[in-house]
Amino acid sequence: MSIRFGVFVPQGWRRDLSEISDPITQYEAMTAVAKTVDALPAYDSIWVYDHFHTVPTVEREPTFEAWTTTAALARDTERVHVGQMVSCNGYRNPAYFAKIASTVDVLSHGRLYCGLGAGWYEHEWRAYGYGFPETKERMRMFREACEIIVKMWTETAPVYQGTYYTIDQPVNEPRGVRQPHPSFWLGGGGEQVTLKLVAQYANACNINGDVETLRHKFGVLRQHCEAVGRDYDSIIRSHSLNVLLLQPGEDPAAAIEQMRPPLSREEFANWFTVGTADAFCQQIEAKMAVGVDYFILYFPRIAYDHRALHRFADEVIARFV
């Protein structure tokens, strides 16, 4: 199985720009990470989140908007793909979303990874005036959105009449560069809706959890693929890892204390896996064995220090290429 790796760019959502006060300098720190990744052939992509408010608590700190950032980073880089893990369907009308993605696919010269999910962060939904529909309703909206987006990318005069969305022959030109449409990534492991939509429409999925959870979810995805006549192996199966890579002999507690700010010890422990290169290789191998073929990495404090990007490429990724 071939394997690829991507990296999340710090954008403020995880309070990873909090030590920089000037917004221009904050964005330039993001660009610096993106350019470092772009220069390292070990990495295939850079990623942003689609959120407006910070986690794990809502603070009055910067969180750069995902799609303007995607467009800017696409022009700041030359080689890497640029994606969102994932865009929230509730924040943009799906026809408009398809238009945005088509434009970014062109300006990136076909390097867009277009991510979409149903959305979950209630606080920012309500704060921005979107309400917060119940889960079943959000999933129905997500289902309609996926169909509309693919129609917008592939049909000359698309028409759709749904419960939540309607389109009547919108002109979407240019429709993008990549054929038959921009690379479409769906996030989430819901077995009745999301994974079925992956089998029907997506180029890739993003599923998280332990090895047994991944094994089960990919088994469900395979069943959905068989039901619609889709080649399961044609779908990229991605997984996110929050990584603190230890130096040989480094004390884990000391490393955590150095790298965790502004997070508490508990918050850091809930988010990050801490280990040596050997330990990460073992984890990657175990998840590859159940179907993962793409890992998207988040490193603490790379806004301030890029060395972890180089070390992970040299000490971990190099063992898989």
How large is the average pLDDT for residues 56-79? 97
pLDDT at 40 over 70: yes
Confidence at 1, pLDDT banded by 50, 70, 90 = low
pLDDT for 191: 96
232: nearest Cα among 241, 243, 221:
221
Distance, CA of 259 to CA of 256 (rounded, Å)? 5
pLDDT at 119 over 80: yes
Are 186 and 202 in contact by the 8 Å Cβ rule? The answer is yes
Are 29 and 303 in contact by the 8 Å Cβ rule? The answer is yes
Q: Which domain holds residue 149?
A: 4-320
Measured CA to CA in angstroms, residue 43 lies from 36, 177, 271 at distances of 10, 22, 22
Distance, CA of 148 to CA of 239 (rounded, Å)? 26
Confidence at 128, pLDDT banded by 50, 70, 90 = very high
pLDDT for 33: 98
| E strand segments, the chain | 4-8, 45-48, 81-84, 87-88, 112-117, 159-161, 166-168, 183-187, 204-206, 236-245, 273-275, 294-298
**Higher local confidence (pLDDT), 2 or 206:** 206
Please state the separation of Cα 198 from the chain's center in Å: 15
pLDDT for 141: 98
pLDDT tens digits along 185-203: 999 999 999 999 999 999 9
Phi, psi angles (nearest 5°) of residue 316 = -120, -60
Confidence at 35, pLDDT banded by 50, 70, 90 = very high
In total, how many domains does the chain have? 1
Q: What does the angle CA 204 – CA 267 – CA 21 come to, to the nearest 5 degrees?
A: 90
Helix axes 194-201, 135-154, angle to 10 degrees: 10
Confidence at 108, pLDDT banded by 50, 70, 90 = very high
pLDDT tens digits along 150-167: 999 999 999 999 999 999
In this structure, what CATH number is given to the domain that contains residue 265? 3.20.20.30
Residue with tokens 């801490």: 274
Q: What is the pTM of this model?
A: 0.96
pLDDT at 34 over 70: yes
Look at residue 179 and give its three-state secondary structure: coil
Confidence at 321, pLDDT banded by 50, 70, 90 = confident
For the chain, give the mean pLDDT: 97
pLDDT for 99: 98
Phi, psi angles (nearest 5°) of residue 174 = -75, 155
How large is the average pLDDT for residues 249-271? 92
pLDDT for 2: 85
The pLDDT > 70 percentage for the chain reads: 100
Confidence at 134, pLDDT banded by 50, 70, 90 = very high
Are 58 and 86 in contact by the 8 Å Cβ rule? The answer is no
Confidence at 204, pLDDT banded by 50, 70, 90 = very high
